[in-house]
A and B are shown apart, each in its own frame.
Chain A
């Protein structure tokens, strides 16, 4: 299986959250196909970049932010831009 790039992993996690609103972190970890440590790094990075948000309501639920939706919307453009300018 081809190794996923950082952006691909970010996109996959965000897509999982988009398709499963109010998802909890444990099923999100399972669906992300990452080790716990790697998932934690990505999860914290997504929170820091304000692409996802946590809501507390008898447990921790994860949802996309407005920025997260825009990231998914612009995903292909971002990749094309980085590739075009060799960034």
Chain B
């Protein structure tokens, strides 16, 4: 009886994880492919980094769902416990999700940073460092600190973009801030599994809501089918 109940809970948990990842991956890929024509016509740098950010989100959530599924199926408490495959998947997840957030920032800031185009390499290095640091340290405080610092960095850059008087009142900056916040909560959820367990469903629903909102905006503004 107890075993049956456990089996059903595993099934439900796995199902929820897969549905969650599926919605985010599909909406991200549709944003990427939906903006293909606009990019091909213009070769505009802002559009390039915007759509690449969503391609990276799709990759990140694919690996996230893989890690989560393995953890649920094998009853693991940490992704590290799944040997090399777990560690590699976790590294790809952390690297791509951090880089995606940086790409999104770069898409709104590239004009201001035009004089220093090498900043994009700095983002790659930072994403690798954050991924490695989060991987090798099992310390909850360090993981939280790294993610809080990342959020502060994103908030500051978005605030600078928002300060532009011509762009005041633009809701997209607020959406990006919320997106970054929920992505960081997704990262914490993987690295410290029990930390946000109580709020997991809420985080999932709000994350889906934000992705669908951006997807809707893209669909409306890009004129794609």
Contacts and interface: CB of A to CB of B under 8 A. Distances in A.
Interface of A: 7, 49, 51, 67, 70-71, 74, 77-78, 80-82, 84-87
A74 B47 contact: no
Question: What's the interface size class on B, roughly?
Answer: 20 to 34
B217 interface: yes
| Interchain residue pairs A-B with the least CB separation, the first 8 | A87-B46, A77-B223, A81-B221, A84-B221, A86-B108, A71-B41, A80-B221, A87-B107
B45 to A, nearest CB: 8
A85 B172 contact: yes
Interface string B30-71: 000001011011111011001000000000000000000000
Contacts of B11: none
18 contacts: A49-B41, A51-B41, A67-B40, A67-B41, A70-B41, A77-B223, A78-B38, A78-B41, A78-B42, A80-B221, A84-B221, A85-B50, A85-B218, A86-B161, A86-B170, A86-B172, A86-B173, A87-B47
Interface string B210-225: 0000000110011100
A87 B35 CA distance: 13
Contacts, number: 56
Given A67-B40, A74-B223, A87-B50, 5 more contacts: A7-B42, A51-B41, A71-B41, A82-B46, A87-B107
Contact of A74 (B37, B161, B173): B37
Nearest to A77: B223
B41 A81 contact: no
